[in-house]
């Protein structure tokens, strides 16, 4: 009946409904992000813009995130495009800390040109050495030359697109 439909509770809303914070810079973005709202970080200049999306609810507390171009960054040796550095710090510590999402995955969109084998090399920095893993994209936009990736943790990483074979499961 009409009255039953009118008294039914509204469907639950996803998130707070607040739009994500948008940060843009040609070389480096450093800011503090919390539980809400999510964030979209755009790094670089057109047409080579790298994007990091932090979903709402991914963090349990405030996290200082640095996303920057790192022209002197380490690589796996097979580099496509630029090298990025992604670092997470939970205040008051000044040292990078591993931050695992408690919500949705962090999403990266990186320029890949016309490369069909655009995997993501992730170099975890720690203990004076770098441990590399390579993951496959979730999709590749051939027209825009963008590769899309999902990761579940932020720490202290070098990131770059590579044609090296995948070493870690999706």
Strands 99-100 and 21-25: unpaired
Report how many domains make up the chain: 1
Distance, in Å, from the CA atom of 50 to the CA atom of 26, rounded to the nearest integer, reads 10
Q: Comparing C-alpha atoms, which of 155, 161, 14, 17 is closest to residue 83?
A: 161
2 within some domain: no
8 found inside a domain: no
Instruction: Please report whether residue 3 resides in a domain.
Output: no
Look at residue 60 and tell me if it is in a domain: yes
| C-alpha–C-alpha distance, residues 124 and 133, integer Å | 8
- What is the per-residue pLDDT across 71-104, written as a single tens digit (0 to 9) for each? 999 999 889 999 999 999 999 999 999 999 999 9
In a domain, 168, yes or no: no
- Are 125 and 86 within 8 A, CB to CB? no
What is the rounded distance in angstroms from the CA atom of residue 134 to the CA atom of residue 14? 32
pTM assigned to the model: 0.87
Determine, yes or no, domain membership for 10: no
CATH at residue 76: 2.60.220.30
Distance between CA atoms of residues 163 and 87, nearest Å: 24
| Average pLDDT value for residue range 32-44 | 95
In a domain, 5, yes or no: no
Segments forming the whole domain that contains residue 97: 19-162
């Amino acid at each position: 009946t009409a009255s039953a439909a009118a008294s039914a509770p509204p469907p639950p809303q996803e998130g707070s409904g607040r739009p994500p914070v948008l940060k843009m810079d040609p070389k480096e973005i450093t800011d503090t992000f919390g539980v809400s709202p999510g964030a979209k970080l755009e790094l670089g200049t057109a047409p080579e813009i790298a994007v990091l999306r932090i979903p709402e609810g991914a963090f349990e507390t405030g996290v200082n995130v640095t996303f920057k171009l790192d022209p002197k960054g380490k690589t796996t040796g097979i580099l496509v495009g630029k090298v990025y550095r992604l670092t997470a710090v939970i205040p008051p510590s000044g040292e990078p800390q591993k931050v695992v999402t408690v919500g949705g995955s962090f999403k990266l969109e990186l320029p890949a040109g016309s490369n069909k084998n655009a995997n993501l090399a992730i170099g975890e920095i720690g203990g004076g050495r770098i441990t590399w893993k390579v993951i496959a994209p979730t999709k590749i936009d051939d027209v825009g030359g963008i590769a899309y990736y999902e990761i579940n943790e932020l720490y202290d990483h070098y990131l770059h697109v590579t044609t090296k074979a995948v070493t870690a499961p999706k």
